Amino acid sequence: MYRYIINRLIMLIPVLLGVVFIVFFIMDLAPGDPVYQVAGEQATPAELQELRVKLGLDGNIFTRYARYIKNMLRGDLGVSYISKRNVMKTYLERLPNTLMLASVTMVVAILVSIPLGIIAAVHQNSIKDTVSMILALLGLSIPNFWLGLLLIILFSLKLKWLPSGGINGIKSIILPALTVGLGLAALMTRTTRSSMLDVVRQDYLRTARSKGVTEKKVIYRHALKNALIPIITIFGIQFSNVLGGSVLAETVFSWPGVGRLVVDAINQRDIPMVTGALVMTTMLVSIVNLLVDIIYAYVDPRIKAQYTK
Amino acid sequence: MPDANLILEIKNLDVCYKTEDGDVHAVNGIDLQLGYHKTLGLVGETGAGKTTTALSLLRLIPDPPGIIECDTMIVAGNDMLKMPVSELEGIRGKDISMIFQDPMTALNPVFTVGEQIAESLEIHEHLSKSDAYERAIQMLETVGIPRSRGNEFPHQFSGGMKQRVVIAIALACNPKLLIADEPTTALDVTIQAQVLELMKTLKDKNDTSMILITHDLGIVAEVCDEVAVMYAGRIVEKGSLREIFDETLHPYTEGLFNSLPNINDRSAKLKPIQGLMPDPTDLPPGCTFAPRCGYAKDECLRRQPRLACMAGTHYVSCLAYERSDFHIGRGKH
Amino acid sequence: MRRKHLASEKYAKRSAFKSIWKQLKKNKGAMMGLAILSVIVLIAILSQFAFNYKEDIIAQNIGNRLQHPSREHLFGTDALGRDVLGRVAYGARYSLAIGVVSVLIAMVAGVALGAAAGYIGGFFENIVMRITDIFSAIPSVLLAIAIVASLGKSTFNLMVAVGVASIPAFVRVARASVLTVRGEEYIEAARAIGMRDWKIILVHILPNCLSQIIVQTTLRVASAIIAAASLSFLGLGVPAPAPEWGSMLSEGRAYIRDYSYLMVFPGLAIMLTVLSLNLIGDGLRDALDPKLKR
């Protein structure tokens, strides 16, 4: 099992190197020379060149890329053009806020989607099923930022129950989490239902019933444990979208997380910050994906066997 | 009044699946009895309604779309028709157990085999987890699997061993009636013999009554005391083993025997029964076998025969036997 | 010989379409989706004639600003006095165009890469899939944002950004389909009579992957429209004063307290468009899948 984990970690490295290159390449496509942002209009060519070296902007894309990687391995992602603060430090300051939001989001999604999906599958083609699926489809079709705005209108402005922004105790995380969480819940409800439907027609459930296992246990123990396997996988893949969605939620609710950090940095053309934030966020997603793969291998005995032999 | 000598008494069992493509009449008016400690062989081709009959005994027919209608269904002293689901769950696995046809899909892939056997014991004998597990691995040894494999998962076993596990699960709580639905059909021929031998031994040791569903007459001859032959959801002939094999009456049963290849005469032609079993959504009005029957007369296509007693325990459902001089070719003296 | 072959293929395709259409008709949701989408497309086309772009859509009329919905302005007016109904109707053109073009870009690029990867296999396939994985590792919203940030704000750049973010999905679907079909015997037969590889891909393999690709395309247009609106909302999409639905929501946000009607209509428009596409996509998926989970 450990060999499998080590293997996957090693395979992560080229992916991360590739990501950094792609981010680099994209940011490099920008017209204009970023040195002017820091130097100002008045600088002489000599001063510009000196500044370029200082900022690591000299050389072609490959030398700059190599330099960036070297620095990255030391934990140095550069300094923001705008705030002059250390990029890594700023990112890590804001990361917990986003992680908190992402966690609550996923919890909300699980709490809604799994029970709903099971009910829809067990009562297939009934009213409960149809209603659940319609709600799920609506949830998939709503842009999350619009949902956030509607939630603000209802719960902050009209009912005055919840704050419309900022990070101020438990109440302030509810609306942002719902904004992204409901969309995710819509997708996961459909996934749960689909997975349960596949499992519900399996013979081993009939064996369980013939043993005298109660129907409830047949569904929630025998069936669900099997259905969870693909559900966990898809859930893990969705973490990337949760982070993407939190960019919008953080904007709508003025949540001080890394999503907003990226958007602000982009609007200010703060290239080191944008690059650093994108690289760090992608690394986070890759690590989470790896964790999900490991959990998946652990939960499904057939896969586990493949990697422990 | 339930007969105390009978472990199984079914009168007029009807099972119909209501589907979008029509009503599937899987089982049509079956009567069956079985005495304690006896083994009944339920014989017929695929689609004859044997599995449906077995499932309805445990009320495992999914509803919708299946509808069970029956006058009497008494198994091991329990009135199966009137029973609420909670009581039913108490009987399944304890008084009546079932072994299914395909061992590859019968076991839950995410639980160990030991756990799956132990579950039966936990439910019915209220044992603690550890006690149940201990008994479970003992059962494993009884079916010929080493105890140490109790914490392995189903995918780590071969087909024959999986079926042994299924047998272990079924017999764990020492049921009075075991229903085995083609337990060896999906296995290699050599493994078939082993598993059959195992079943026989366990059955004799525990005095379990058994219903063995099969299309293989050879197995029936090995294991069964009584035989019932099914065709298109009806019983066409039933009786003791000797009566069915040596004093065959129904043309369909004769056809089954004739279609067996003769190992001693390799050059002889195979004699299959002409035609196909009728579509269960569109059964013919008269005798369901008449279109394929070599002895059929016009009347057979119009009037349905009833199961009638010919001698002792031997019953047959055929209009031709209303004439006392009729007999089929096989076993004619 | 060749003519006969083509003719029988045409017949097969036509009857395949007919049967798929028949299956689709049974799906009430899909039909409703088709109806809604048709209405939206119609609005997009006709708005060019119903409204004058310079006068109705972008001309500012401060005296008329922030009027709640009335008979004269059914959806009200925005902060610059512009009629919201006209802007929402016109916005359909942007959303549909961006959605369709970006996904077309992604489909052509993605299917070409994926099909080639699946067919050629070996090192090429490996490289393509590794690169796809790398692109997939970046959250798609962030990838699109980065591209727009770099290239600059314009409608075309938005199409490119959203398109690039959709390419990995097509690569995967195309490759998977090709892998399924590749082993079939009629491919071997085609090779045996000397058919060129690219021709085999075009004539034999792609038509069979078509169903998966069509479903994927429909669903991706839906997510592309949401992505475009999201980027516009963040200020990184279609530049003002263009009436894009996401931008309208962003502009109206400052007035959410007293003029919350500004939030309703553009968002509703996005949702209905996406909903109709999802309904159609779902319906297509069910109609094209032989093992229906009814």
**Yes or no, beta carbons of B98 and A210 under 8 Å apart:** yes
- The secondary structure of A44-113 as a DSSP string is -HHHHHHHHHHHT--S-HHHHHHHHHHHHHTT---B-TTT-SBHHHHHHHHHHHHHHHHHHHHHHHHHHH
**Preferred mutation among C138, C148, C265, C274 to probe A, highest tally of A CBs within 10 A:** C138
CB-nearest to A22 from C134, C246, C256 is C134
Mutate to test the interface with A, among B89, B108, B157, B182 (most CBs of A within 10 A): B108
CA distances from A41 to A47, A148, B60 (A): 11, 41, 83
Query: Is the minimum CB–CB distance between A270 and chain B shorter than 8 Å?
Result: no
Note the ipTM here.
0.85
Closest C-alpha among B285, B281, B312, B294 to residue B252: B294
**Is the previous residue joined to A14 through a cis bond, with omega within 30 degrees of 0?**
no
* Interatomic CA distance for residues C246 and C232, integer angstroms: 5
Nearest-CA neighbor of C113 among C165, C178, C68?
A: C178
Which residues of A are less than 8 Å from C257 in CB distance?
A: 157
CB-side neighbour CA atoms (13 Å) of A281: 37
Q: Which of B270 and C100 is assigned the larger pLDDT?
A: C100
B123/A212 Cβ within 8 A: yes
Q: Quick check: helix, strand or coil at residue B324?
A: coil
**pLDDT per residue as tens digits for the range B44-82:** 888 788 899 999 988 888 877 888 888 888 888 888 888
d(CA A5, CA C141): 29
Touching check for A195 and chain B: CB below 8 Å? Answer: no
Closest Cβ–Cβ partner in B105, B111, B119 for A203: B105
pLDDT higher than threshold 50 for residue A79: yes
Q: Which residues of A touch B108 (CB under 8 A)?
A: 204, 207-208, 222, 225-226
Of B97, B105, B156, the CB nearest to A210: B97
Query: In this structure, are residues B107 and A207 in contact, taking their beta carbons and an 8 Å threshold?
Result: yes
Q: Do A202 and B94 touch (CB under 8 A)?
A: no
Q: In this predicted structure, what is the pLDDT of residue A38?
A: 66
Per-residue pLDDT averaged across B269-275, rounded? 79
Contact C137 A145 (CB under 8 A): no
Is the separation of the CB atoms in A151 and A175 below 8 Å? yes
Q: Are A88 and A236 in contact (CB under 8 A)?
A: no
Do C263 and A29 lie within an 8 Å CB cutoff?
no
> What are the tens digits of pLDDT across the range B147-187?
899 989 999 999 889 999 999 999 998 899 999 999 888 88
**Local confidence pLDDT in tens for the 294 residues of chain C:** 455 455 445 555 556 666 667 777 777 888 899 999 999 999 998 888 877 777 666 777 777 778 787 777 788 888 888 888 888 888 899 999 999 999 999 999 998 898 888 888 888 888 898 888 888 888 888 899 888 888 888 889 999 999 999 999 899 888 888 887 777 777 778 778 887 777 776 777 666 678 788 888 999 999 999 999 999 999 888 887 888 999 999 988 888 888 888 889 999 999 999 999 999 998 888 877 655 443
DSSP letter string, chain C: -HHHHHHHHHHHHHHHHHHHHHHHHH-HHHHHHHHHHHHHHHHHHHHHHHS-IIIIIS---GGGTTPPS-SSSTT-B-TTS-BHHHHHHHHHHHHHHHHHHHHHHHHHHHHHHHHHHHHH-HHHHHHHHHHHHHHHHS-HHHHHHHHHHHH-S-HHHHHHHHHHHHHHHHHHHHHHHHHHHHTSHHHHHHHHTT--HHHHIIIIIHHHHHHHHHHHHHHHHHHHHHHHHHHHHTT-SSPTTS--HHHHHHHHGGGTTT-THHHHHHHHHHHHHHHHHHHHHHHHHHHH-SS---
Express each pLDDT in A88-109 by its tens digit: 888 999 999 999 999 999 999 9
How is residue B147 written in tokens? 């105890």
Q: Which of residues 143-172 of B touch A (CB under 8 A)?
A: 153, 155-156, 166, 169-170
Contacts of A197 in chain C (CB under 8 A): 293
Q: Is B39 helix (H, G, I), strand (E, B) or coil?
A: strand
Q: What φ, ψ does residue B309 adopt, rounded to 5°?
A: -80, 125
CB contact under 8 A, A137 and C130: no
Hey, which chains touch B, using 3+ CB pairs under 8 Å? A
